[in-house]
Amino acid sequence: MRPALLDPLFAPVTALPGVGPRLGALFNRLLGTAERPARVIDLLFHLPHSVIDRSRRPPIRDTREGDIVTLTVRVAEHRPPPPGRARAPFRVLVEDGTGDVTLVFFSMTQARIDKMLPLGETRVVSGRIEFWEGFRQMVHPDRIMREEEARDQPLVEPVYGQTEGLASRTIARIAQAALGRLPHLPEWQDAAWLAQQHSPDVAAALAALHRPESATAFAPESAARKRLAYDELLASQLALALMRATRRRASGRVNVGDGRLVAAVTQALPFSLTEGQRQAVADIRRDLAEPQRMLRLLQGDVGSGKTVVALLAMASAVEAGRQAALMAPTDILARQHFARLEPLARAAGITMALLTGREKGAARAATLAALESGAAQIAVGTHALFQDAVAFHDLALAVIDEQHRFGVHQRFGLSRKGEGVDMLVMTATPIPRTLTLTCFGDMDVSVLREKPAGRKPIDTRAMPLERLHDVVDGLHRALARGARVYWVCPLVEESETIDVAAAQERFEDLQRIFGPVVGLLHGKMSGRDKDAAMGAFQRGETRILVATTVIEVGVDVPEATIMVIEHAERFGLAQLHQLRGRIGRGADASTCLLLYKAPPGEVAKARINIMRETEDGFRIAEEDLRLRGEGEILGTRQSGAPAFHLARIEDDADLLRIARDDARLILERDPGLAGERGQALRILLYLFERDEAIRLLRAG
Ligand code: ADP
Ligand code: MG
């Protein structure tokens, strides 16, 4: 149970003075979730991102376009809208002896103007100076005050992320009230460290950020910001370390084989393994043989050959006399894996079964029976694998392909189908080091760095959409040479239906031009139609496959050498990289055409340039992180990875490493968090809602 000390912080925002139901609803929109309303703590962690500095008070004569200034002025003239033109603005001329400014108000009554800016009186106004036909004006000043009022106004105002109807100024006011609710918290950080960093305590740090004296309060090196970032990182690393410690204790089983099946599968491969693949297989076999449960991430760029590693890992489990399962996020991918892997397994005398939502009736019943009896040694499938009806004879290893496509609960769902099941999760999306740490803590990682030999670099080009007809001309020539082409249609965020319509339309256009060699694949098609479309393209019966991003994940047709991406500016870097990874898999040179809507925005331009510069997924991921910030990157949101409120992965990578080591050391000295600092650290964990980690403490 959360200590009562923290209760005021976890109360709804409406518990604060001045927050009624109307404001409460706005705060909920800004900071709440579907499950719970906005709370005081959410508001405290909702830090301003910048400031407006109103400390400049020049004479009017010296003000320039765009300046934010605070002026002491005399109200010289009221100019109401002319009769019959009620929608024209109300203008008020003010002056200070060096010049004048017209204040402009829309939808304002004479009565309100009289009250705010009475003729002949002196007022202090603050806002942005603009020039209009050579005259200075200020549209809806942010502040209009009497002189004596102006004296106690802060000259630097925090600017918050807002929601419609909820102004920064209101958030700032309520944030002050929230600061007032902060209880006295025990110090959980090491005193020597705090002194060395010149860190304020939590309350002072929060106050410094909600009442900034200048924009430097938010700078990466600001002591207040770093203090809070470190608190958050330490909470996350401590929670991960606790979970890991518990997992260590959760015993797995020893799965040792004699290596015969692995050797047989390796023999059946039409290629030899890369060094990285060999190493990964060795890592996995060592883990399987340990009595602890394996939790290993296999990280390898698109096309680096993770699937084969999965197969050899599964063969190892079968050697140990047990079963293994491989789960893929889509039907298409599960079927492709099965088609590829089953012949290799069979060559080694291993039986493999396919199970997706589409296996029905007698065939499904037979598969379920085979898994339950152990007659099927490896299962390949989709989410269908961890449904209730599925029982394994003795599952020892679960492999999750494209792990970021699954939620946490789904990833672990499969591991509950057996006893002490070892887990291998694979990701085609390279995760930068900093992010693996935050998402997976000390999870073991194997990396496939090099691509299989013989791959040619992909020629990536960018051109405006207007040159679509040139692209079509180029395709005529390419098809004549026997090329196979993916044509990816724009992603429409708002609606999959529009998405599909766009793909349908492009499909019809291209079919008119190229005839029956054009195929179509999108997410709304039935499973059977998807298979048919994919199969026809794989066999070369269709040569241009128009698709939505359903092909993004894992699809492998080595003969495809051209990829056209329409509206490339709408895709994120990671997604572009994934898409491009569909080509360049065979021996022939490949080309990727990024068609963008001109003129591209800054970010789109940067993305396209990176795509042209490199095929290195790790670099692309780092750049993506830089361009986007950590929040959305690489599907971490779907994966349920913790998003940070206060820490910023780009700026705080060093802090993250320190926090990880710190967390380890803390638990080495005080594994139950029972000492004085341990008790304070428990409060830290509650503050950042790592309650699940505290439950582990209790259990252990
Ligand atoms: P990903 O890591 O993106 O899942 P895949 O496992 O689909 O990549 O492998 C991509 C392609 O590379 C497949 O066609 C696969 O057969 C091939 N491949 C994998 N390993 C090797 C290797 N060592 N040498 C040559 N080709 C390989
Ligand atoms: Mg793959």
d(CA 609, ligand 1 centre) in Å: 27
The answer to whether 320 and 285 are in contact (CB under 8 A) is no
**What residue's CA is closest to ligand 1, atom 25?**
452
397 has which bridge partners? 324, 422
Q: Which amino acid is at 142?
A: D
Asked which of 12-21, 110-119, 446-455, 623-632 is least confident by mean pLDDT, the reply is 623-632
Rounded CA-CA distance 109/647 in Å is: 46
Name the nearest CA neighbour of 385 among 443, 325, 454.
Answer: 325
Q: Copy the structure tokens of residue 235.
A: 């909470």
Q: Is the CB of 452 under 6 A from ligand 1?
A: yes
Write the pLDDT tens digit of every residue in 204-256. Answer: 999 999 999 888 888 889 999 999 999 999 998 888 888 777 666 667 889 99
d(CA 282, ligand 1 centre) in Å: 18
HSE of 553, CA atoms in CB hemisphere, 13 A: 23
Q: Percent of the chain beyond pLDDT 90? A: 56
User: Given a cut of 50, is residue 467 above it in pLDDT?
Assistant: yes
Write the pLDDT tens digit of every residue in 6-31. Answer: 999 999 999 999 999 999 999 998 88
Rounded CA-CA distance 411/400 in Å is: 7
Rounded CA-CA distance 520/542 in Å is: 9
- Indicate the pLDDT class of residue 636, thresholds 50, 70 and 90: very low
E strand or H helix at 546 = strand 544-547
The answer to whether 544 and 556 are in contact (CB under 8 A) is no
User: Given a cut of 90, is residue 83 above it in pLDDT?
Assistant: no
Asked which of 443-452, 491-500, 526-535, 542-551 is least confident by mean pLDDT, the reply is 491-500
Residue range 549-577: mean pLDDT, rounded: 84
pTM for the model stands at 0.63
The predicted structure's pLDDT at residue 491 = 57
Helix and strand numbers (H, E) in the chain are 25, 22
The answer to whether 56 and 127 are in contact (CB under 8 A) is no
Give one word for 188, left, alpha or beta, with left for phi > 0 and alpha for psi -120 to 50: alpha
Q: Tell which one of 269, 271, 338 to mutate to probe ligand 1, the residue whose CB is within 8 A of the most ligand atoms.
A: 271
Rounded CA-CA distance 204/221 in Å is: 16
Edge-to-edge order in the sheet of strand 122-128: 130-132, 135-139, 100-105, 90-95, 68-79, 122-128, 143-145
d(CA 378, ligand 1 centre) in Å: 20
Residue range 357-364: mean pLDDT, rounded: 91
Higher pLDDT, 255 or 414: 255
- Domains annotated for the chain, with CATH where assigned, are 4-52+159-219 (no CATH), 55-153 (2.40.50.140), 260-429 (3.40.50.300), 458-614 (3.40.50.300)
Residue range 653-671: mean pLDDT, rounded: 88
The answer to whether 440 and 297 are in contact (CB under 8 A) is yes
User: Given a cut of 60, is residue 640 above it in pLDDT?
Assistant: no
Higher pLDDT, 445 or 262: 262
Handedness of CA 424, 427, 428, 433 (dihedral sign): negative
- Indicate the pLDDT class of residue 631, thresholds 50, 70 and 90: very low
Residues in CB range of 491: below 8 A, 6 or more apart: 499, 548, 549, 567, 570, 571, 575
Spell out the long-range contacts of 653-659 with Cβ–Cβ below 8 A and sequence spacing 24 or more.
653/434, 655/226, 655/229, 655/230, 655/233, 656/233, 656/237, 656/434, 656/437, 656/438, 657/437, 658/230, 659/230, 659/233, 659/234, 659/236, 659/237
d(CA 644, ligand 2 centre) in Å: 29
Task: Provide the 3-class DSSP secondary structure of residue 328.
Answer: coil
Other CB atoms within 10 Å distance of the CB of residue 410: 17
Rounded CA-CA distance 207/9 in Å is: 15
Q: Tell which one of 274, 301, 307 to mutate to probe ligand 1, the residue whose CB is within 8 A of the most ligand atoms.
A: 307
The answer to whether 19 and 13 are in contact (CB under 8 A) is yes
Write the pLDDT tens digit of every residue in 310-334. Answer: 999 999 999 999 999 999 988 888 9
